[in-house]
Amino acid sequence: MNIGILGGTFDPVHLGHLSIAKAAMDQAGLERVLFIPAGQPRLKQAEPSASIDHRIEMVRLAIGVNSRFDVSDIEAHRPGPTYTVDTLEELSIKFGTEADLYFILGMDVLGQLDQWKDPERVLKLCQFLVLDRPGEEVFDWPAFYRRVPEAEGRVQKVTAPLVDVSATELRRRASVGESLTGQVPDAVAEYIHKQGLYLKEREGRAAS
Ligand code: ATP
């Protein structure tokens, strides 16, 4: 069984995430994709704005009735910063040797691989499915393989329609009351609005 893993902050989940999950599923023959919101992402500059419970709920709404997508709370309440290697260790025990794990990620994240905890072990536990992200510079593959030689043969490129959305921009839009329609699933836009998520960012900035 081929299982895709899409880790992220999902603050909030958006159509870019759904697009890369679908493309990875089709092109790599994945049976299912697990969306795994990080408790405390280690390489992000700021703490997540929405709580882990809100971020999990938004992913649940985004997935909707797609029976091949699932949300996992495996990283939700792990104390301290979240490390992908710990998640992969847990999942490889849970799914056993029958399962092959594929980590789905954008080019922006691949470029930071050498800053992850134990990238060699990560690359033993899973293969990578990598997608372009709008606005990213051309990826320097030779330099990447020089920095992380273990990645050789473990990274597969997947193509998806480019979706020019980032959670950072969505938080900014939500903080000033701009519409998120067309960038997140409708149910997620409604949830953000009803819960008043990201409005605090505006208050924080106004106060500073
Ligand atoms: P932020 O703007 O807060 O940094 P984000 O939009 O990058 O958030 P994450 O939850 O951090 O969202 O991303 C999870 C994964 O999805 C990462 O591997 C990231 O590269 C990928 N990703 C996010 N948005 C896109 C997109 N528009 N196109 C391709 N990949 C994306």
Q: Find out whether 71 and 56 touch, Cβ atoms under 8 Å.
A: yes
Confidence of residue 20 (pLDDT cuts 50, 70, 90): very high
Pocket of ligand 1 (CB under 6 A): 8-11, 16-17, 20, 105-106, 108-109, 131, 133, 163, 165-168
Render pLDDT for 139-161 as a digit per residue (tens, 0 to 9): 999 999 999 999 999 999 999 99
Residue 198 CB neighbour total at 10 angstroms: 23
Please state the domain extents for the chain: 2-163
| pTM higher than the cut 0.75 | yes
Determine whether domain 2-163 maps to CATH 3.20.20.30.
Answer: no
Query: In this model, does residue 203 exceed pLDDT 60?
Result: no
Give the CA dihedral 178, 184, 187, 191, nearest 10 degrees: -50
What residue's CA is closest to ligand 1, atom 20? 106
Is pLDDT larger for residue 15 or for residue 203?
15
